[in-house]
């Protein structure tokens, strides 16, 4: 028998193990060195994990980044003071809503910092991160006093009220009174009605004046004043006794439901008179109007009427006289037209405004939207405000356009706001409120923003929503805000479209707090 010599084999095994241990030790040292160097890196995350551009005193800012170890000496200075670090933690994974996937960042830290009044308020508050000898300057933030003065703390949700209507048979009146009432005319039975809390009531108004009884054929415009004591309307009517047609401007006292015909215009307005006592002038079709608490009526003609009048703004004052503020009468002359507003570069704004949107009659203000490109309502738009008593532009708001996939900035000073002024809007206590056309489906309202001209800022109507612009169906732009409730819910008129067979008729909708 021969014995096998194993000394050389054992030596090789020992060598292999030694080499393996050396490799492992070297790798561990390199790994330790990598993580040691990684812990010394100061980086602030941007893009999808960046912080917002505006905050209020008392808010908490979430900073993501690489800030050394959890016990490293990290200082975050915002504006005039160092921020109080509320907490620091490693983040294992983050849901990226933009890409709709989970991204893992095991080396990422989350640092929460309290916004303190010592940091100062206003735009361009500088943000600096310091760790050891390293300093990184972040994006400046805007800090406001106090929290967001929003109506709701949750996302808004649309629901149907169950009330169907036909636009060929009904005319709904925008009445931004805050009571939740919606006034409307029913052409079929020649009545004025009021809808509230899903209940419709006929108001017993008798449509009669010095000429006799009349029926309403088509309402061109109407308005209810803030106290809901006066309702005015301009309509095509038919005299029952003679069967002849005439345009009427009427006022209804809602306290006793008495109707007064202020003006009756039959036939052509050619030759006038156009200014003077309201009962003696020739009035064109009024496309937009509003009545104030004093009884003064502002109106906008908006388009051609029998080739004689183009885009004029006028009023019926408290004494009952008609006067034009700006605009032009083709081939004629009126005392105050054409008049251009003083600081609009010589542009007759009443003539070029693509969408006259509202009057605030008690403040003598006129709002209109001008569009920055050919896409009109579906793109960036500019809100202009004119003081009719001074005949000049007093405010302009033009937010930066937010493309698809871009984070919209809603709580911000005017110069930092970024979103689209799309969808329906209304005036709430003198402040315009826009519902955006993005982040919603057929039954959901994603975002709304309040435009505060006095504070030169915007803030959200429902602040908890994530305002990430996404492709949408565009249906929101078709809704019209009719009124809002004392709780801040908004009532919309929703039109029927042929592409939606599930809606056989148009409906009223109301916003509610989403549970």
pLDDT in tens, 282-341: 888 898 899 999 999 999 875 433 333 456 788 999 999 998 887 654 444 343 333 333
SS (H, E, C) 1-31: CCCCCCHHHHHHHHHHHHHHHHHHHHHHHHH
The predicted pLDDT at position 405 comes to 47
Confidence of residue 31 (pLDDT cuts 50, 70, 90): low
pLDDT at 469 over 50: no
Q: Are 230 and 298 in contact (CB under 8 A)?
A: no
Mean pLDDT of the 381-403 span: 78
DSSP 413-427: EGGG-B----S-EEE
The C-alpha angle 424, 458, 153, rounded to 5 degrees, equals 80
pLDDT at 477 over 60: no
The predicted pLDDT at position 344 comes to 33
pLDDT at 447 over 50: yes
pLDDT digits (tens, 9 = 90+) for 422-440: 667 788 888 888 776 543 3
* Range of weakest confidence among 259-268, 377-386, 389-398, 438-447: 438-447
pLDDT at 391 over 60: yes
pLDDT at 171 over 70: yes
Task: Give percent of the chain above pLDDT 70.
Answer: 63
Q: Is the pLDDT higher at 1 or at 297?
A: 297
Contacts from 100-104 at CB under 8 Å and sequence distance 24+? none
The predicted pLDDT at position 97 comes to 44
Q: Is the pLDDT higher at 424 or at 491?
A: 491
- pLDDT, averaged across the chain: 75
Task: From 148, 164, 154, 156, select the one nearest 484 (Cα to Cα).
Answer: 156
pLDDT digits (tens, 9 = 90+) for 236-286: 999 999 999 999 999 999 999 999 999 999 987 777 788 899 999 988 889
What is the helix (H) or strand (E) element at residue 380, kind and residue range? Answer: none
The 10 Å CB-count burial string (b at 16+, else e) for 441-464 is eeeebbbbbbbbbeeebbbbbbbe
The predicted pLDDT at position 420 comes to 62
Mean pLDDT of the 487-506 span: 64
pLDDT at 377 over 80: no
The predicted pLDDT at position 14 comes to 60
Strands 392-397 and 381-387: antiparallel
pLDDT digits (tens, 9 = 90+) for 186-203: 999 999 999 998 889 999
pLDDT at 154 over 90: no
The predicted pLDDT at position 24 comes to 63
Q: Is the pLDDT higher at 102 or at 317?
A: 317
pLDDT at 111 over 80: yes
The predicted pLDDT at position 172 comes to 92
Confidence of residue 12 (pLDDT cuts 50, 70, 90): low
The predicted pLDDT at position 83 comes to 92
The predicted pLDDT at position 11 comes to 65
The predicted pLDDT at position 466 comes to 41
The C-alpha angle 315, 321, 324, rounded to 5 degrees, equals 40
Mean pLDDT of the 50-71 span: 82
Residue pointed to by tokens 């009952």: 320
Confidence of residue 17 (pLDDT cuts 50, 70, 90): low
Q: Is the pLDDT higher at 81 or at 91?
A: 81
Quote the CA–CA distance of 22 and 25 in Å, as a whole number. 5
Q: Is the pLDDT higher at 505 or at 74?
A: 74
The predicted pLDDT at position 360 comes to 93
Q: Is the pLDDT higher at 258 or at 379?
A: 258
DSSP 46-64: -GGGPPPSEEETT-EEEEE
* Residue 307, number of CB atoms within 10 A of its CB: 10
The predicted pLDDT at position 307 comes to 36
Task: Give percent of the chain above pLDDT 90.
Answer: 29
Contacts of 374 (CB under 8 A, 6+ apart): none
């Amino acid at each position: 028998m021969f014995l096998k010599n194993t000394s050389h084999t054992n030596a090789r095994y020992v060598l292999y193990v030694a080499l393996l241990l050396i490799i492992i030790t070297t790798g561990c040292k390199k790994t330790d060195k990598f993580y040691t160097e990684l812990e010394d890196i100061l980086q602030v995350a941007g893009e999808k994990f960046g912080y917002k551009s505006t905050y209020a005193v008392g808010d908490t800012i979430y900073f993501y980044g690489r800030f050394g170890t959890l016990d490293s000496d990290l200082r975050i200075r915002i504006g005039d003071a160092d921020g109080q670090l509320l907490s620091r933690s490693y983040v294992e994974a983050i849901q990226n809503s933009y890409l709709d996937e989970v991204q893992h960042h095991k080396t990422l830290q989350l640092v929460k910092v309290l916004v303190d009044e010592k940091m100062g308020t206003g735009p361009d508050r500088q943000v600096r991160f310091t760790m050891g000898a390293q300093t990184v300057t972040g994006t400046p933030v805007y800090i406001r006093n106090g929290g967001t003065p929003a109506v709701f703390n949750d996302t808004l949700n649309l629901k149907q009220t169950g009330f169907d209507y036909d636009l060929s048979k009904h005319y709904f009146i925008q009445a931004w009174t805050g009571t939740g009432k919606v006034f409307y005319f029913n052409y079929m039975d020649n009545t004025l009605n009021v809808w509230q809390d899903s209940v419709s009531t006929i108001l017993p108004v008798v449509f009669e004046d010095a000429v006799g009884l009349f029926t309403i054929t088509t309402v061109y415009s109407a308005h209810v004043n803030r106290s809901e004591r006066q309702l005015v309307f301009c309509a095509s009517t038919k005299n029952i006794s003679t069967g002849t047609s005439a345009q009427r401007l009427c006022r209804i006292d809602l306290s006793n439901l008495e109707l007064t015909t202020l003006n009756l215009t039959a036939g052509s307005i050619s030759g006038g008179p156009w200014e003077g006592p309201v009962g003696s002038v020739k009035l064109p079709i009024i496309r937009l109007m509003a009545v104030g608490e004093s009884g003064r009526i502002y109106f906008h003609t908006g388009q051609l009427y029998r080739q004689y009048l183009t885009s004029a703004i006028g009023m019926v004052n408290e004494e009952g006289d008609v006067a034009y503020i700006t605009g032009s009468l083709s081939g004629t002359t009126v005392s105050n037209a054409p008049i251009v507003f003083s600081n609009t570069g010589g542009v007759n704004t009443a003539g070029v405004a693509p969408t006259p949107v509202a009057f605030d009659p008690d403040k003598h203000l006129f709002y209109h939207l001008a569009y920055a490109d050919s896409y009109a309502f579906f793109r960036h738009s500019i809100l202009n405000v004119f003081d009719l008593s001074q005949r000049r532009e007093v405010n302009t708001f033009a937010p930066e356009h937010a493309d698809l996939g871009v984070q919209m900035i809603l709580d911000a000073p005017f110069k930092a706001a970024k979103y689209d002024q799309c969808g329906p809007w209304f005036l709430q206590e003198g402040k315009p409120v826009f519902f955006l056309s993005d982040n919603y489906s057929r039954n959901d309202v994603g975002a709304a923003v309040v435009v505060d001209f006095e504070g030169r800022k915007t803030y959200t109507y429902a602040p908890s929503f994530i305002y990430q612009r996404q492709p949408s169906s565009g249906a929101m732009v078709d809704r019209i805000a009719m009124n809002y409730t004392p709780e801040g819910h908004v009532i919309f008129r929703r039109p029927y479209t042929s592409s939606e067979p599930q809606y056989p008729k148009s409906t009223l909708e109301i916003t509610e707090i989403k549970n």
